[in-house]
């Protein structure tokens, strides 16, 4: 059986056979292996959901993120004879060799241009051409100097259109409720996914779902004398389930009288192991939360990913396709699309990059482009925290990438050798970059090249939000702040530095943690009670009277450091006083250590199927 972590034994090919056509075929074969494993992972997720093996689903999600780079390394090793510029370098691993130290010769430029052209010719009947182009870029960027990161050598612009691409079996199925009624249609729709597990009561769930759907439809549709469900009413659902953690999701849309209504139906397992329909998500905010950048990537079996992305774009037209590809587990393709969109935005805007608002961090420098809803983060040369290094910070960000983010950790795109126009940087930001990161930023006459950069969605820092928000929104954010800490802890994440400046508030008002340099696993921490002071002098001393280990945490101190404002303190204590006690943290750590996985569903009780929902009139 193929495993996601399988590594092929690499045998470099003789250099004399590596023509441009041969190189193109090797790269495409490596991509095909990658995508076959990608689909195999989603197929495994279905079996794991049916058996309720939640630990394996999480492990599968982590493995799948990393094996793209494994396939790239395998491909480069196989191509080694053709890629080394001189024989003396062929004895080294390509992962360790810099092939960009001298300009390419005319022959080499022609070779790579011919290789790209040959690769395009191979994509005529490919079902994932956009992802294959990105894989080609991943291989080429390991070899070429950044001066060649343009469309002559890479797919900066796509070469193969995917607008109308579909699989042999269409990406979505269509159902017509007018022929047999809505309830029977929903039963058939769910049954067609072929889950190899029994349902708790599918006819009951279909009845509740139909009632809730009609109730929701009545809220948004003006009643007319005509039928609520027209003769040409369609329900269209994507052909594969979306698996994540302990749930599977049906994703679809209702088209009625020319209007489109998006929806998702979560499926969960009850204690006896039976499947039930749990909720109906049909509001924009609910679907946006489902596909949020603060959640783990879905496991979805897609023959034609472009068709899935196009379908989801009709449900969430404000969500960039880069983020949709990323949420479907194709984060490399998401990076490619983000970069294309970003270049387009730069060409059609005139504002300047500037230092991001908020309190400056000791580890990361953060800047933003006001007209673009993202922030750019780099690791400072000199980190003002004892024991903190560049490699440690990068490992923390990778830890978040591989972890279940439970809606409370911001996802990031990681880039290397990013060239940006120098004239678009404010003088204040240029001065800051020269001071804090001269080894990360290369400065040329017209360009700044960032050797390493993180990009993530822009949010309002919580400390700034609390200063200006009305009382009701401020109190909601304080409650969300405590909820975020609890949910991260239950997911085996201890945030470390829990100051408000390290949390952000999203467009939908959700509080998210985004400062990762001090995060640790809950199972690594030791939550202690402060022992009584031996005398009054000890209690008043500047140093503690008790020994403190490197991973010791004293929750009783949180109130002193975090709850100085009396209004915030009152609201926080009324909802989250347990976070100020070591007992809560100790019990949470114990549950995590036992391997318990909490239900982390991205919707509230108001979305759940309810037998008390009024019947449609």
Distance of CA 492 to the CA centre of its chain: 18
Separation CA 217–CA 235 (nearest Å): 14
The catalytically annotated residue of 301, 411, 515, 517 is: 411
Strands 364-368 and 441-443: unpaired
Separation CA 139–CA 354 (nearest Å): 33
Residue 106: how many CB atoms within 10 A of its CB? 7
Could you give the C-alpha distances from 95 to 74, 84, 89, 161, 331, in angstroms and in order?
10, 12, 12, 32, 21
Separation CA 180–CA 571 (nearest Å): 53
The burial of 359, by beta-carbon neighbours within 10 Å (0-12 exposed, 13-18 middle, 19 or more buried), is given as exposed
Q: What are phi and psi of 520, to 5 degrees?
A: -145, 165
Contact 249, 287 (CB under 8 A): no
Q: Residue 546 corresponds to which tokens in the numbers above?
A: 């008790």
> Going along 400-528, which residue ranges are E strands?
413-421, 441-443, 447-457, 460-461, 503-505, 511-513, 526-527
Angle, CA 227 vertex, CA 226 and CA 232 arms, to 5°? 115
The single-letter DSSP state of residue 494 is B
Separation CA 58–CA 368 (nearest Å): 33
Q: Is 552 noted as a catalytic residue in this protein?
A: no
Separation CA 380–CA 362 (nearest Å): 8
Q: Residue 554 corresponds to which tokens in the numbers above?
A: 């004293």
Residues recognised as catalytic? 411
């Amino acid at each position: 059986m193929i495993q996601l972590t399988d590594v092929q034994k690499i045998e470099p090919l003789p250099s004399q056979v590596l023509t441009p056509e041969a190189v193109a075929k090797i790269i495409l074969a490596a991509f095909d292996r990658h995508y076959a494993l990608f689909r195999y992972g989603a197929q495994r997720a279905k079996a794991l959901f049916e058996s309720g093996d939640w630990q394996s689903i999480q492990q599968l999600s982590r493995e799948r993120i990393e094996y793209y780079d494994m396939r790239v390394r395998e491909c480069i090793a196989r191509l080694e004879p053709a890629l080394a510029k001189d024989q003396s370098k062929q004895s080294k691993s390509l992962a360790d060799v810099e092939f960009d130290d001298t300009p390419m010769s005319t022959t080499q430029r022609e070779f790579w241009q011919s290789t790209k052209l040959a690769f395009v010719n191979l994509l005529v009947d490919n079902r994932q051409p956009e992802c294959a182009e990105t894989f080609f870029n991943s291989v080429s960027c390991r070899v070429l100097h950044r001066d060649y990161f343009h469309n002559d050598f890479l797919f900066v612009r796509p070469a193969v259109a995917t607008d109308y691409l579909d699989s042999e079996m269409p990406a979505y199925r269509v159902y017509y409720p007018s022929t047999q009624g809505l309830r029977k249609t929903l039963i058939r729709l769910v049954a067609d996914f072929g889950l190899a597990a029994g349902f708790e009561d599918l006819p009951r769930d279909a009845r509740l779902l139909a009632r809730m759907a009609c109730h929701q439809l009545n809220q948004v549709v003006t009643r007319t004398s005509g039928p609520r469900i027209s003769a040409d009413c369609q329900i269209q659902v994507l052909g594969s389930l979306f698996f994540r953690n302990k749930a599977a999701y049906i994703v679809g849309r209702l088209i009625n009288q020319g209007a489109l209504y998006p929806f998702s139906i979560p499926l969960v397992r009850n204690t006896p192991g039976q499947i039930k329909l749990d909720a109906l998500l049909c509001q924009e905010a609910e679907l946006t939360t489902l596909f949020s950048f603060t959640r783990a990537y879905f496991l979805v079996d897609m023959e034609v990913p472009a068709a899935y992305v196009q379908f989801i774009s009709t449900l969430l037209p404000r969500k960039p396709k880069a983020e949709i590809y990323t949420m479907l587990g194709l984060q490399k393709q998401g990076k490619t699309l983000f970069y294309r969109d970003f270049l387009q935005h730069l060409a059609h805007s005139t504002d300047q990059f500037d230092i991001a608002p908020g309190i400056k961090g000791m580890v990361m420098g953060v800047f933003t482009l006001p007209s673009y809803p993202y922030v750019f983060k780099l690791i400072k040369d000199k980190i003002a925290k004892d024991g903190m290094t560049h490699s440690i910070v990068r490992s923390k960000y990778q830890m978040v990438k591989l972890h279940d983010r439970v809606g409370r950790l911001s996802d990031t795109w990681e880039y290397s050798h990013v060239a940006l126009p120098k004239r678009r940087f404010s003088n204040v930001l240029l001065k800051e970059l020269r001071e804090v990161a001269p080894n990360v930023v290369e400065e040329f006459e017209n360009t700044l090249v960032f050797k390493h950069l993180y990009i993530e969605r822009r949010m309002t820092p919580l400390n700034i939000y609390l200063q200006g928000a009305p009382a009701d929104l401020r109190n909601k954010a304080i409650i969300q702040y405590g909820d975020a800490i609890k949910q991260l802890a239950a997911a085996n994440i201890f945030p470390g530095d829990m100051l408000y400046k390290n949390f952000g508030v999203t467009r939908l008002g959700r509080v998210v943690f985004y400062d990762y340099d001090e995060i640790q696993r809950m199972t690594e921490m030791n939550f202690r009670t402060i022992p009584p002071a031996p005398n009054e002098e000890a209690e008043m001393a500047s140093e503690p009277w008790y020994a403190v280990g490197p991973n010791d945490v004293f929750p009783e101190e949180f109130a002193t450091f975090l709850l100085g404002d009396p209004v915030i303190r009152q609201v926080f204590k009324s909802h989250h006083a347990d976070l100020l006690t070591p007992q809560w943290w100790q019990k949470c750590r114990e549950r995590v250590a036992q391997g318990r996985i909490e239900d982390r569903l991205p919707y509230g009780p108001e979305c759940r199927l309810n037998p008390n929902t009024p019947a449609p009139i």
